Amino acid sequence: MWKPVLLLLLVALTAARAGAQGNTRAPNVIVLLADDLGWKDLGCYGSSFYETPNLDRLAAAGTRFTQAYATSPVCSPTRASILTGKYPVRTGVTDWIRGRQEAGVARPFEKLVAQQTAYQLALEEKTLAETAREQGYQTFFAGKWHLGEEEAYWPAAQGFQVNKGGWSNGAPTGRINDSTGGFFTPYANPTLTDGPAGEYLTDR
């Protein structure tokens, strides 16, 4: 039977804390996922180089996990795993979409040919967002999705009521502040409203 392990764990831990304080409201659940973030790249995890005061405050008021591992070294399979509670091979998303070896051929420097990856998280998969909605939660997604090239597989189809920025691409399509869709408006992202001239994507 499918179980959204991460959500249940977060809710259980937070509910226990709320119960101890006499609070009967359902807890808010926020999951932050950052690609390529090192285990010690935040102040709350011991960084003396990177300054992350806002995340440190959030961690101090919430629950930190200190013994956890990503199921994949790349983005799409990791995100699919967190959303479904399954290993990448169980969802079929085993590489970033479309992957480095989409033709099934390894490059000269690659020693292995990877298993063919799915180009989307199947709609049959039950996500954390779908489970949360069944429990009366409102769901919101912002940022990088990269779990389906067609709109039919974007966040709105996977249980998220609000989607800001999540679509097929894993990164901005351009490189500079022009109409190619770079890190500055116009973003050329169908799920993200453009901002004033010169606005930076992170600020949006």
Report whether 93 contacts 121 (CB < 8 A): yes
Q: Write out the catalytic residue numbers.
A: 75, 146
C-alpha distances (whole Å) from 192 to each of 59, 61, 77, 143, 181 are 28, 30, 24, 9, 11
> Can you list the alpha helix ranges (DSSP code H) found in the chain?
5-20, 53-61, 75-84, 88-91, 128-134
Collapsing DSSP states into helix, strand and coil, what is residue 184? strand
Q: Give the angle 192-96-63 at the CA atoms, nearest 5°.
A: 70
Q: How many CB atoms lie within 10 A of CB 74?
A: 21
Q: Please, what is the Cα angle at 190 between 188 and 194, to 5 degrees?
A: 55
